Chain A
């Protein structure tokens, strides 16, 4: 199969999955007890008789399900996810406001986890099955077993409550105070990284071990290249594409997966937005957010699939 054909097949699959996702999101929220019109009327100050019918007509809720779905999907594709009926703010705008916080949190978490995982993995692969490798394995295995929101609570107790080094809660915007901004994101990003380090470390270690068994490594060693040069220039580089794909997939997963961490640390990101949407029964907002998060995940996967063969010449087809 040519690369173009693989892309075409994946693209068809992508469209099918995205359509399925959007249909499921619309169906689920549509089936919820109580409709938007009733909620709107109940929350207005002086409900008039027949107001429910009026609003229902105005919102197009009297149309059949499939008609409403296609309309909603058409709007969503053009970036119109509707208007939050609590705040009156367009959902796309609300996402745009909150997304930078979540993205910054993710970037910091990725930097921290790669800074820890890459050296550990290289060192463990070099000493495969020796004491150091075993200790690192048990350590990462243990770390992986602790849910990241538990890690964040423990970090808050240690670094905010007991030592008073970092703020326990709250967010400082980057424009206001760069150092304060990084400090306010440090505990949540370390907590997120605690779940990523074991995964990255394991993937890279196994990939390194595989690469180190290749003939060209033996050649590199036999011509007298230093250990450092063999490890970093000849073994680490070809092992990285696999890690890149796992990092990419996880960025997609984490956009919605930061909910508890954001909530615990009081960060105004996508996670807290969805939580408040649910608490306020702001279904339009929740619907738009779930669609956005699921699409981000699917697209991240698709992009990763597409660039993997370009990164690793060995699987170029």
Chain B
């Protein structure tokens, strides 16, 4: 789980040498993601989103309320279809409540990352020279910190909580987003239509907004989908450590973190959020790969 493993595959070692790393997640095969995988991914995410949004009206127990008559109830218990956790809270309700957190963190942090990172990357790619060198060095500095360590340091600073997670992930993820935006800008900045716009006497602002931006949006958004998955894992990791979502609120990470103590007696407390998270990440990655193929985005071009 790292924002940087993705970007290491995009770096060029020495000018003129081939880029390191793979092509898409599914390799360089001509075929894209199989259609059934796309259907199942969309289905799972829609189900999860519907469950998260409809949680208040679903006939489920309150996710924070303990049922002292049924502590650590196994799966398929009466009244608790997925059982209860170590203090008797309904696991299904908590999974859906955790889904709310994951979806919110995924979308909000990536929105922040794009708003912060894309302009930096476009400016670096468009103007080159010192602006480029300054921004690239800045990005390298941010990317030198392991994500989780940087997030933990930020959480010390901002105090644990939902907004800390969103702001922290947003800031850290803005660095790889800026790299993607910069590389995409570089591939367009010397194209004929940009030269033509310049020849017609348009200013930098107009060229960036009208000529560069529309071309950079697609690769940035395709990359952003991958980062949503990374953000969800980052939130879970922080909450697992107890530095993210605070009790009694539920998060997949905190469910695993607190349930870990009961791993021997009731492994389902840990395994259910683990599987829910893994499936969701897989679904998001499949969709990201599908879009990348669909819009013919090659990592080698980044």
A residues near B, CB below 8 A?
1, 6, 13, 16-17, 20-21, 24, 28-29, 31-32, 124, 128-129, 133-134, 137-138, 141-142, 144-150, 153-154, 156-157, 161, 168, 195, 199, 202-203, 205-206, 209, 242, 245-246, 249-250, 253, 255-257, 259-260, 263-264, 274-275, 278, 286, 290, 293-295, 297-298, 304-305, 308-309, 312, 315, 317
The chain B residue sitting closest to A157, CB to CB, is B267
Known: A17-B137, A153-B260, A305-B14. A203 touches B5 (CB 8 A): no
A contact residues around B29 at 8 Å (CB):
128-129, 133-134, 137
| A147 and B281 within 8 A (CB) | yes
A contact residues around B68 at 8 Å (CB):
none
| A253 and B146 within 8 A (CB) | yes
| B263 and A156 within 8 A (CB) | yes
Known: A129-B29, A129-B30, A205-B27. A150 touches B5 (CB 8 A): no
CA of A32 to CA of B138 in the docked complex: distance in angstroms?
A: 22
Q: Does B73 contact A (CB under 8 A)?
A: no
| B21 and A203 within 8 A (CB) | yes
Contact of A6 among B14, B236, B282 (CB under 8 A): B14
Encoded as 1 (CB less than 8 Å from any A CB) or 0, chain B from 122 to 159 comes to 00000000000000011011001111110011001100
Contact of A253 among B4, B256, B277 (CB under 8 A): B4
CA of A140 to CA of B166 in the docked complex: distance in angstroms?
A: 29
Q: What are 28 A-B residue pairs whose CB atoms fall within 8 Å in the complex?
A: A1-B15, A16-B137, A141-B25, A141-B285, A147-B233, A148-B1, A150-B256, A153-B256, A153-B270, A157-B271, A161-B267, A168-B263, A195-B5, A203-B22, A206-B22, A242-B20, A246-B21, A256-B145, A256-B146, A256-B149, A257-B1, A257-B2, A264-B260, A275-B152, A275-B241, A308-B17, A315-B16, A317-B16
| B240 and A294 within 8 A (CB) | no
Within B149-200, the residues touching A (CB, 8 Å) are 149, 152-153, 156-157
| B1 and A147 within 8 A (CB) | yes
B contact residues around A242 at 8 Å (CB):
18, 20-21
| B263 and A150 within 8 A (CB) | no
Q: What distance in Å separates the Cβ of B283 from its nearest Cβ neighbour in chain A?
A: 8
User: Which of B5, B148, B237 neighbours the largest number of chain A CB atoms within 10 Å of its CB?
Assistant: B5
| A147 and B236 within 8 A (CB) | yes
CA of A253 to CA of B23 in the docked complex: distance in angstroms?
A: 21
Q: What distance in Å separates the Cβ of A2 from its nearest Cβ neighbour in chain B?
A: 11
| B27 and A260 within 8 A (CB) | no
A contact residues around B237 at 8 Å (CB):
147, 149, 260
Within B203-257, the residues touching A (CB, 8 Å) are 229, 233, 236-237, 240-241, 243, 256
| A317 and B14 within 8 A (CB) | yes
Q: Does B294 contact A (CB under 8 A)?
A: no
Given contacts A31-B157, A147-B281, A153-B256, 8 further A-B contacts (CB under 8 A): A1-B15, A28-B157, A32-B156, A137-B27, A144-B285, A206-B27, A209-B28, A290-B145
A contact residues around B140 at 8 Å (CB):
13, 17, 20, 298
The chain A residue sitting closest to B6, CB to CB, is A199
Q: Does B45 contact A (CB under 8 A)?
A: no
